[in-house]
Amino acid sequence: MLLSPPGLLPPRTPDPGPQLPFLLILLALMLGGWVEGQYLAVFVDGRILPIGGARLLDERKIRLELPNGGGIVVPVTRVDRIVEAAVEPDPQPVVAPLPACGFAYVEAEPPAGTPFAGEIVAAAKAANLHPGLVVAVVQAESAFQPYAISRVGAAGLMQLMPSVWLGAGLQTPFEPASNLRAGSTHLRALLERFKGDLTLALAAYNAGAAAVEKYGGVPPYAETRGYVRRVLGRFCPELQARPTSGPEEPLAAGG
């Protein structure tokens, strides 16, 4: 994720209204400029569009710059993710976690000193996720910065896109407890969508579910493959060296 410079982080004051988060995001985008290069806009309806840049216009719309010129404006709620399209130059297998590395909730405290530990455990329990998995995702997404903003509008501890945090009914993506709840619920929904395959669910969290479904596995994008490795490496460092991943366990059995 491309995060806003520290000077752009808003003060820790109560949110005065639902438009403030977008004003903060827009400020970061105006000062930080366009996201430019070869990207993919992954839509919630399954479409994938190559783009050269993206910019939030206001609290409802995002402009997607087309590679050959021109652009289109779409509602922010239609965009699942925007991911770098660069392919891993020398693809290596993305190993799956050991079967014993379960993602279901257990009574486990995050490591000592983990920021927002209480909120993480509460969000993990509500979504039936292992607290260590939520910790690993937060570390990879924002490094525990509650006011982190990406240049394409992902925000907060779990870097929620507007389609996620608005869909969850949040007025702000920056409040830690609500961000963690919405992000954990989103990850749990992806686990159900991909039948308990943690590797695929994490790939979808980064690149969008449509990208995972298009490739029938972890997409070849370097950003996504690196992200999955970082999260799994932190959550379950004892990985079994095998090139493919299958369902961890039936969801009905407590996964």
Q: Annotated catalytic sites, by residue?
A: 141
Q: Are strands 35-43 and 48-56 parallel, antiparallel or unpaired?
A: antiparallel
**Beta carbons of 16 and 141 less than 8 angstroms apart:** no
- DSSP label of 98: P
Residue whose C-alpha is closest to residue 76's, from 165, 141, 159: 165
CB under 8 Å to 21, separation ≥6 — which residues? Answer: 15, 155, 171, 172, 173, 174
Tokens of 52: 């050269």
Tokens 């965009």 sit at which residue?
79
Question: Cα separation of 137 and 235, whole Å?
Answer: 9
CA neighbours closer than 13 Å in the CB half-sphere of residue 91: 11
Distances (CA, A) of 60 to 144, 188, 192, 227: 27, 26, 29, 28
Tokens of 28: 């970061």
3-state percent helix, strand, coil for the chain, nearest multiple of 5:
40, 15, 45
Question: Cα separation of 171 and 166, whole Å?
Answer: 7
